[in-house]
Structure 1
């Protein structure tokens, strides 16, 4: 069976073939602005596949455009949703539907790696932090603006503050540098505080996994952080296997 996985986030569509052994093939990406994909995006999709699974946190109209494109290419399309229990992971939320499916799938992938407790950090439009213990229990998490969103918000309210640019420094001597240092520094502090709290709660230092477009900027300043750019797709593969989507 030819199977594909699609992860539609707030700024990019990522997709990859799923091999019979459960591993991912080459991951591809298409950008979008929240309302439409970049020009030529449909030509980058697989021409044909027997089945595919989709994870989406994007606007309904954008998801609808993708589903329409997939309907003519894929024999069967399934859409992932957050479950209270799946693949050894138990979600902390009383109403699992309120936990974003991207966070849910990232937790599945983190637990499946078998490294004990994990702190899963997503750096996209939002900064999300979730803790899963060695037994697969989700202990909850946090949501905050990402460094990029912080910059955009400051620029929107105070136009003379640049929306991008600058270099990180602990004590910056330039406005652009101070902005990137402050916004990234706030994210770093939240992650480190969460890691310390997780250590105190579990009695063990959690493995730190970073994913999302903004993760590389933080990874180098977080000791022991492991980049996991395809974590949501990995989790989508686990969900599809448990739900027997490609059986």
Structure 2
């Protein structure tokens, strides 16, 4: 079956073919603007798609632009939603609709990888932290601004502070490095404190899983982390396998 997976976030759009084995194929990153997305999709997708599976946490304008572009070439579109339970994975939220579908799918993929108990950290526009135990029980999470968003907000309020640039160091001697170190350091501190709390909760250290466009910068300071760039697409492929069989 000619099926494709689409992960539409607040800062990135990624897509991948769904293989006959039920796994996501090689991921493709596409422009993330309403005015560009239809043309970008037309250049990478087949003329016709049997099914388009999409997970979206983007704003309504971009979401509609992507759905319109997919409607023009897809026989069917299936939009992933967070579910209270999916296989062994059980979501902690009393109202599952409040848990972003990207976080839900990342948990599905993490559990399917057999990582055991894991702290799953997504680094995009937001920094999300979710704890899942060995049995697939989601124990809750945290949300904070990502380092990139911190920099953007600081720049918007104080234009003399650059929105990018600099390197992480313990004690910086220029503004760019101080900003990078402060914003990355805030994210690292949240992750490390969450790891400590998870260890106390579980009685053992969980695996640390990083994903998202901003994960690279943090991974360099977290040597025990496993980085999985396509974690949400992997989870979407699992969801598609069940949805397609329904």
Establish whether TM, by shorter chain, passes 0.5.
yes
Q: Residues 74, 40 of structure 1: CA spacing in aligned structure 2 closer, same or farther, 3 A cutoff?
A: closer
Deviations 1:139-179 (A, max 9, x none): 00000000000011111111111111111111100011000
| Counterpart in the other structure of 1:167 | 167
Conserved? CA contact 2:23–2:238, under 8 Å? no
Counterpart Cα distance in 2 of 1:77 and 1:21: 20
**Structure 2 residue aligned with 1:214:** 214
Q: Distance in 2 between matches of 1:14 and 1:65?
A: 15
CA shift, 1:39, in A, is 8.0
Name the SS of the counterpart of 1:37 in structure 2: helix
Q: Is the 8 A contact 2:56 2:102 kept in 1?
A: yes
Provide Cα deviations, 1:29-66, integer angstroms capped at 9, x if missing partner.
11224x44358313223322211210000111211111
What's the CA shift for 1:80? 0.2
The gaps in structure 1 that reach 5 residues or longer are: none
Q: Which moved more, 1:64-73 or 1:210-219?
A: 64-73
| TM-score normalised according to structure 1 size | 0.95
Does 1:92 find its partner at 2:92? yes
Q: Which residue of 1 aligns with 2:39?
A: 40
Deviates further, 36-45 or 202-211:
36-45
C-alpha distance 125-140 of structure 1, shift in aligned 2 (>3 A): same
Give the Cα–Cα distance (whole angstroms) in 1 for the partners of residues 59 and 153 of structure 2: 20
What are structure 2's unaligned runs of at least 5 residues?
A: none
Question: Does the 8 Å CA contact 2:38/2:69 hold for their aligned counterparts?
Answer: no
| CA deviation after TM superposition for structure 1 residue 117, in Å | 0.3
> What is the match of residue 237 of structure 1?
237
Q: TM-score with structure 2 length normalisation?
A: 0.96
CA root-mean-square deviation? 1.4
Q: 1:38 & 1:162 partners in 2: Cα distance?
A: 28
Task: Give every structure 1 segment of 4 or more consecutive aligned residues whose post-TM-superposition deviation is greater than 4 Å.
Answer: none
1:95 Cα deviation after fit: 0.2
Deviation at 1:232, TM superposition (A): 0.3
Helix, strand or coil for the counterpart of 2:36? coil
CA distance in 2 between partners of 1:246 and 1:76 (Å): 14
Matched, 1:200 2:200: yes
Q: Hey, what's the Cα distance between the residues in 2 that align with 1:202 and 1:37?
A: 46
